[in-house]
């Protein structure tokens, strides 16, 4: 069946597109949607006018709109119409997979828009690589494991993947994390893509679920939805992929919407991250030694490998564990810096040798390119590490390997050049973009010099529908008892938000020894959207999470209580330690703004429609109460009782 991809209003050759778009948007919000049972909201009309100007002038706009303003329907409508006008899809970048699910789920915002306006929207998902099963990891594991969850995933893999005689016409998309909801996060890590996988040289690459899904979403005509992490990976790898003869991860877009755009800076840092482990360099250079090269080059490779092993050994010995984080801090000692500088100099020498060897000998061009790309990547990461105050770095360890992670401390210059210099509309949408009504802090951190902005408040009557009760923690054991009482008093129907996975697990250790008259669900037990569906449908239930501070949308009686177990301060890991180091007042410039923004997001999970009601239970220490109560009171939608 042919999909109707035309603009949903007529534009003659004498008409101005934006004049006709304005007329159509007016008809939609004043007539069509109210006739379909949608509430006419002044906030939506105001937001629609502001976005029209941004799209017309190809500006960047910060659209801060409270819960219930209908902001998603507004930006979707503009993104779809403009995409069809330009003949290029809009990209909607979300904070995480939970937010993506809110858009595309049955009964979600896109389906509502389609039904109300009689549209067929071609929307496709571009998910990050870790959301796809890795056959190279799964296949050998399936031969030795007795784990039924993993074997069930293997059984679900289509036959063509293992049939080398199959033609591409018979290939179908598969491998999405969402297709295997029974698998826990811990088990998924064993069978999913990870940064150690060398996809470019993998024998499965043309049959991998990741490749097939990527080919599908590239042809979207209206909307491609991805995560902030994936969008930034696209930005960072675009030029190197072109040099390698590959397509960029995402196609050219007509416009870009950043939903929960206040989280883009963190994603940008992650996207610009360099991750090394000594096995990677060893594998790459071992491949180089297998080529026909000069003895001088072989001796240099041996020296690099020896120094690399010595350097990683030093990093592992001196790394300091960070409480509440899987990241280990690395002291910046003279010895560590000297070894890194020597290693970088030797890698630069090898890059020069590679040019001579490629000219003098018959070297495999494909492998030469891979070696060159990796050595440049390795050297650039070391360059960031070696420059004072430019890099943030730490160690991560698992059962098999030690990884060094390096990321830039500031990303505004890269974003200014690679993203916001493009002549297209950029829309930042969230209920929490400004600090005290000021958008410049966010704009400066992202390299945005010129922007439009507006704020509209939520239309909900919080005074009538929300109670907010503060509690002071005496000790953890007593706090868990009191939270248990709050869960029982509400007969479930509760979201419990924790500041970290460690805190959630501490509560779980206590809760597993209690009797409950309702189901206790924990983030990580299943694929996240499956966990949320269980919470929403299997009443009564309790959902415990350390990540769902934003993006979760559960209206109705399934959620009538939100318990915030502690104030959500940023972790003490190297990323935030770097921010604190460069702040005049780390507590008030780094910790407090992060906590207050996240707290506002968490409280926003309770009231999702005009009919919702419930209570917020907010826990904090006596010290935190004394230090932050005034600032917390200033951002709360209702007065807090103790």
Round to the nearest angstrom and report the end-to-end CA distance of the chain: 60
Instruction: Determine the 3-state secondary structure of 573 from DSSP.
Output: coil
Q: Give percent above pLDDT 90 in the chain.
A: 38
Check pLDDT > 50 for residue 1: no
Which H or E element spans position 505?
helix 501-511
Neighbour tally for 191: CB within 10 Å: 27
pLDDT of residue 2: 45
Q: Phi and psi of 488, rounded to 5°?
A: -70, -40
Calpha distance 225→232 (Å, rounded): 13
Each residue's pLDDT tens digit, 348-361: 998 888 877 767 66
Q: What is the chain's percent helix, strand, coil content, to nearest 5?
A: 50, 15, 35
**Predicted pLDDT of residue 561:** 97
Interval 372-383 mean pLDDT:
85
Q: Is the predicted pLDDT of residue 222 greater than 60, yes or no?
A: yes
Q: What is the pLDDT of residues 264-310, one digit of tens each?
A: 888 888 777 888 876 777 877 877 777 677 788 888 888 998 998 89
Neighbours of 334 (CB within 10 A): 7
**In whole angstroms, how far apart are CA 38 and each of 25, 336, 432?**
14, 62, 25
pLDDT digits (tens, 9 = 90+) for 35-71: 888 878 888 889 999 999 999 999 999 999 888 888 8
Please tell me the distance from the alpha carbon of residue 418 to that of residue 234, in angstroms, as a whole number: 11
β-strand partners of 62: 428, 453
Q: Could you report the per-residue pLDDT of 502-552, keeping only the tens digit for each?
A: 999 999 999 999 999 999 999 989 888 889 889 988 779 999 999 899 878
pLDDT at 460: 87
DSSP one-letter code for 39:
P
What is d(CA 69, CA 75) in angstroms, rounded to the nearest whole number?
12
Q: Report d(CA 8, CA 117) in Å as an integer.
A: 9
Half-sphere exposure in the Cβ direction for 305 (13 Å, CA) = 17
All CATH 3.40.50.300 domain ranges of the chain, comma separated, are 1-122+220-272+411-459, 462-635
The Cα 510–Cα 481 span in angstroms is 9
Q: Give the pLDDT band of residue 159 (cuts 50, 70, 90).
A: confident
pLDDT of 224 over the 50 cut: yes
Of 501 and 369, more confident: 501
Question: Residue 167 — pLDDT band, cuts 50, 70, 90?
Answer: low
Of the listed ranges 283-292, 452-461, 470-479, 533-542, the least confidently predicted one is: 283-292
* C-alpha span between 326 and 184 (Å, rounded): 19
The DSSP letter of residue 130 is G
**Parallel, antiparallel, or unpaired for β 541-545 and 494-497?**
parallel
Kindly state the average pLDDT of the residues 554-565: 94
Q: What percent of the chain has pLDDT over 70?
A: 94
Mark 337-348 as b/e (b = at least 16 C-beta within 10 Å). Answer: eebbeebbebbe
CATH number, domain 462-635 = 3.40.50.300
- Measured distance CA(231)–CA(94) in Å, rounded: 9
User: 540 preceded by cis ω (within 30°)?
Assistant: yes
Provide the 3-class DSSP secondary structure of residue 519: strand
Q: What is the pLDDT of residue 508?
A: 96
* CATH number 3.40.50.300 given to 1-122+220-272+411-459: yes
Query: Residue 166: pLDDT above 70?
Result: no
Question: Is there a contact between 384 and 391 (Cβ–Cβ < 8 Å)?
Answer: yes
Average pLDDT along the chain: 87
- Give the phi and the psi of residue 64 in degrees, each rounded to 5: -90, 115
- Res 389: pLDDT: 75
Whether 453 shows a pLDDT value over 90: the answer reads yes
Mean pLDDT of all residues in 616-637: 93
CA distance 552 to 260: 12
Residue 588 confidence (pLDDT) above 60: yes
Q: Is the dihedral of CA 216, 218, 219, 221 positive or negative?
A: positive
Length of the chain as a residue count? 642
Instruction: Name the nearest CA neighbour of 203 among 161, 237, 175, 167.
Output: 161
Cα separation, 128 vs 231, whole angstroms: 9
> Do residues 427 and 63 make contact, with C-beta atoms less than 8 angstroms apart?
yes
Q: 83-94 burial string, b = 16+ CB within 10 Å, else e?
A: bbbeebbbbbbb
Give pLDDT tens digits for 31-43. Answer: 998 988 887 888 8
**pLDDT for 5 beyond 80:** no
Asked whether the predicted pLDDT for residue 228 surpasses 80, the reply is yes
- The CATH code that applies to domain 274-408 is 1.20.120
Comma-separated ranges of CATH 1.20.120 domains in the chain: 274-408
Residue 636 reports pLDDT greater than 50: yes
In this model, does residue 326 exceed pLDDT 80?
Answer: no
């Amino acid at each position: 069946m042919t999909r109707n991809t035309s603009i949903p209003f007529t534009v003659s050759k004498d008409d101005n597109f934006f004049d006709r778009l304005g007329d159509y948007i007016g008809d939609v919000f004043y007539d069509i949607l109210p006739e379909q049972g949608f509430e006419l909201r002044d906030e939506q009309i105001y937001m629609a006018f502001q976005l029209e100007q941004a799209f017309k002038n190809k500006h960047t706009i910060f659209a801060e709109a409270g819960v219930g303003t209908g902001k998603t329907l507004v930006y979707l409508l503009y993104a779809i119409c403009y995409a069809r006008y330009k003949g290029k899809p809009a990209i909607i970048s979300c904070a995480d997979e939970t937010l993506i699910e809110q858009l595309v789920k049955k009964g979600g915002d896109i389906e509502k828009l389609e039904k109300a306006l009689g549209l067929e929207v071609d929307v496709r998902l571009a998910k990050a690589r870790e959301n796809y099963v890795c056959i190279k990891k799964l296949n050998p594991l399936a031969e030795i494991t007795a784990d039924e969850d993993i074997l069930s995933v293997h059984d679900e893999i289509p036959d063509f993947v293992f049939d080398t005689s199959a033609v591409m016409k018979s290939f179908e998309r598969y491998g999405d994390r969402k297709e295997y909801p029974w698998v826990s996060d811990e088990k998924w890590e064993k069978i999913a893509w990870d940064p150690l996988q060398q996809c470019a040289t993998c024998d499965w690459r043309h049959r991998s679920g990741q490749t097939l899904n990527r080919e599908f979403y590239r042809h979207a005509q209206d909307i491609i939805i991805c995560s902030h992490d994936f969008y930034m990976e696209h930005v960072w790898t675009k030029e190197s992929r072109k040099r390698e003869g590959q397509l960029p991860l995402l196609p050219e877009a007509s416009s870009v919407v950043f939903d929960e755009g206040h989280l883009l800076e963190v994603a940008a840092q992650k996207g610009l991250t360099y991750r090394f482990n000594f096995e990677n360099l060893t594998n790459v250079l071992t491949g180089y030694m297998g080529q026909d090269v000069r003895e001088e080059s072989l001796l240099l490779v041996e020296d690099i490998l020896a120094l690399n092993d010595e350097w990683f050994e030093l990093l592992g010995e001196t790394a300091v564990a960070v409480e509440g984080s899987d990241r280990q801090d690395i002291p910046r000692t003279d010895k560590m810096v000297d070894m890194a500088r020597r290693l970088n100099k030797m890698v630069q020498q090898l890059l020069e040798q590679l040019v001579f060897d490629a000219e003098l000998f018959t070297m495999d061009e494909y492998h030469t390119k891979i070696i060159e790309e990796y050595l440049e990547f390795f050297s650039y990461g070391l360059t960031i590490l070696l420059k004072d105050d430019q890099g943030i770095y730490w160690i991560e360890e698992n059962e098999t390997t030690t990884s060094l992670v390096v990321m830039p401390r500031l990303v505004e210059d890269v974003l200014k050049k690679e993203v916001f210099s493009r002549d297209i509309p950029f829309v930042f949408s969230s209920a929490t973009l400004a600090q005290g009504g000021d958008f410049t802090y966010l704009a400066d951190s992202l390299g945005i010099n010129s922007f439009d902005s507006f704020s509209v408040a939520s239309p909900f009557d919080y005074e009538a529908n929300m109670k907010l009760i503060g509690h002071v923690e005496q000790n953890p054991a007593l706090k868990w008892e009191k939270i248990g009482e709050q869960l029982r008093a509400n007969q479930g129907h509760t979201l419990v938000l924790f500041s970290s996975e460690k805190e959630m697990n501490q509560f779980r250790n206590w809760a597993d020894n209690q009797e409950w008259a309702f189901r206790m669900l924990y983030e990580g037990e299943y694929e996240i959207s499956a966990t949320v569906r269980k919470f929403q449908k299997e009443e009564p239930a309790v959902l415990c999470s350390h990540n769902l501070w934003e993006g979760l949308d559960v209206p109705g009686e399934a959620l009538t209580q939100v318990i915030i177990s502690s104030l959500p301060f940023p972790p003490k890991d190297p990323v935030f330690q770097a921010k604190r180091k460069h702040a005049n007042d780390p507590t008030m410039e780094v910790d407090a703004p992060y906590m207050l923004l996240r707290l506002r997001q968490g409280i926003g999970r309770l009231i999702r429609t005009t009919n919702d009601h419930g209570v917020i239970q907010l826990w904090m220490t006596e010290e935190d109460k004394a230090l932050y109560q005034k600032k917390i009171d200033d951002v709360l939608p209702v007065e807090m009782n103790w």
